[in-house]
Structure 1
Amino acid sequence: MYLFRLALASVSNRRFTALLTVFAIALSACLLLAVERVRTEAKTSFASTISGTDLVVGARSGAVNLLLYSVFRIGNATNNIRWDSYTQLKENPRVKWAIPLSLGDSHRGYRVLGTNLSYFEHYHYGRNQPLLIQEGRPFQDLFDVVLGAEVAEALQYNVGDQIVLAHGVSIISLVDHADKPFTVVGILARTGTPVDRTLHISLEGMEALHVDWQNGTPARDKGHISAEQARQLDLTPKGITAVLLGLNSKIATFSLQRTINEYRGEPLMAILPGVALQELWSLMSTAEQALFIVSLFVVLTGLIGMLTALLTSLNERRREMAILRSVGARPGHIFGLLMAEAFALALMGVVAGLGLLYAGIAVAQAPVQAHYGLYLPLTWPSAYEWRLLGGILGAALLIGCLPAWRAYRQSLTDGLSVRL
């Protein structure tokens, strides 16, 4: 213990250099922990995007592609599902509920989702949390729209505002549906999922937008059909993009999945959301590991800075070591003193790094959740994070062996006759 007190006194005597070394270690430790915290929470956020859904059904393509456009609103479907296929799925005795999804339009860069009221009843996220209406109500009229929390906040919309939807998914669209404006009737509570970045309308409303369109452009042979005229038409959809299914029994999941994949009416594919999420995360693991390796090199850089500072100070401290020898310190004590200094610097750096991490989370928590849907909790470090911090301290002790060994050798030969 006396060596540690002596090491702290020595560090305090060289406080400016010590503070720079501690700051470098703190930044590197903070970065390493931040990368690990973001990685863990991003994985949790991915997994909590959809909950309670047993199967996702879409046109036959890839499992990841189907998951991306149906759940994360990224990309587009290769084909649609016929309405009669959806009806058969819904009426299957093994199916408890079915949520139809129809994509294709947007509003100022945000995706528009056509669905029905079962979406607000059965769609869950996180730990089986339901969707909640923060303001207003679900859609009832043909031209009602319910906004996700991020859409309403970013575009500053309120209940009662009228908006115009655009054809396609571009941020800037040259073709819109100005003749059929929608009225905002509800705003969903924030979920931290793609729901926040989505505008929700009825399937009939989606059909009304395109009743006088053909192949992505207004059909000239049909003539213009106004919003009031559209109300008089049969707006049963001809096709939808995907279906979310909840089953009466989890045991029937695989058998129904096989039945859907072998469906002869049209090429369909059913995926398990959890399995597809794991596949999606595995595709991102390379970038994740690369970022982690970069963080490790940053930590190594900080520790090398500590090594440089200790080695540089050795020549200046040879008289100090000689005086310690004269009052009874052994070469082993000198070795222990340098090791204690290295450990003290690393420990202060790790503690400061934890402080920087939590200060950063406290400041960035709300904006990160608002803009990226990523919640960073202010919790104690996990067991893995403690092991990372322990690794930093262990590496500091290992690196500290070099200046400690040099001080040990010098103390054997210098005595009190140090040449300055």
Structure 2
Amino acid sequence: MTSTVSQPVTSAPAVDPARWPDVARVPHVPLRAAVAGRLLHRVAARRGLRVELPGSRTLHPAPPGAPVLRLHHPRAFLHRVGESGLIGFGESYQAGDWDSPDLVALLTELATAPETLVPTGTQWLRRFYVQRPPSGELSTAANARRNIHRHYDLSNDLFALFLDPTMTYSSALFPTGPDPEPKATWNGLAPAQHRKIDRLLDLANVGSGTRLLEIGTGWGELALRAAARGARVVSLTLSEEQLVLARRRIAAAGQEERAEVRLCDYRAAEGEYDAVVSVEMIEAVGRPFWPEYLATLDRVLAPGGRVALQSITMPHDRMLASSRTYTWILKYIFPGGLIPSVRAITETAARHTRLRVTCAGAYGPHYAETLRLWRERFTEQSAQVAALGFDEVFQRMWELYLAYSEAGFRTGYLDVHQLLLTREEVTA
């Protein structure tokens, strides 16, 4: 039985098959599509979703205010999901097969206990559609620069459209205690980014004369604030776009003698430093290379030094479950990476280095608010994004990425931690 709804007619974006081959291609997998259809019925009923179909129909009754999945092209949606699961779900959004008037609300519902979406007895079906990450995206020394290029070298102008003036692309820290207010404001974002940076620098005891290594430059704001404290900063990046702008910003601030940015893989880091900081870099390293990454921090750290890391994290069991899965985020947004758990960082450091995690502070709700502000800014700037040469498929991809990430933090599926690692010094 179906009910009628008021549904606007929308046109699908034009998909360039040369640029978006898997978005342009609609697979034909009837049996798997039928399974996806049954799963959609189950998820909608159990999660209270309103699934709207063409012709002003709904899949089944839903409670008032239910999150909405609006299917414009149900057949394409089911065949994509049937073929490749969540990758197909994301590609279907890029193609315009489905939409939602409140994308974050829908994704938040789906991100709540995601392991319960598929019936326990059918988990074995995963092997028919779950892909393994391709070896060409493994973050080896040879591949890492290409992986970083695909995201961070898109365009400095693109990032400037939705980031605040500090050009900080990581979680802010709002001045509201453990949880931010329901609606943080855009005007408060830059101060909140400085608050985050300052807390990390304080954690590493960065001050006048500190020899500081930063792994992952971003666009230079942390290096600038550390240099303003009197530290001598060496910052490493693999992004050529970020390198150019970070150096320009450092020169404009008159800090060239205190802050140096190098195009360099973390594995090639040289020197000895009183402090090492790294903000949301370990996620790009990839699980096979966490030992080498943490061993590098240990190698360059001077006696008595401190390492301060900021990392997106997920529960350990979910990290293990996803560690060999090729996801939509890996395919289109962050190739080669994996979000770690705090336990994984702690155990890897203990097993492969002399470093020990001695402090860990979480503030995931602040990231949800940061992402909301970025997402709203990004969608407001759609005309400017298009003027930079990014088509509608790209824009829908980034809207989904930002909304998906926000939903992850709102449910607690994702978190963000600032971690302090120190070394137990051996005395003779």
Query: What TM-score, normalized by structure 1, do the two folds share?
Result: 0.21
More helix by proportion, 1 or 2? 1
Query: What TM-score, normalized by structure 2, do the two folds share?
Result: 0.20
Relative contact order, higher structure (CA 8 A, sep 6+): 1
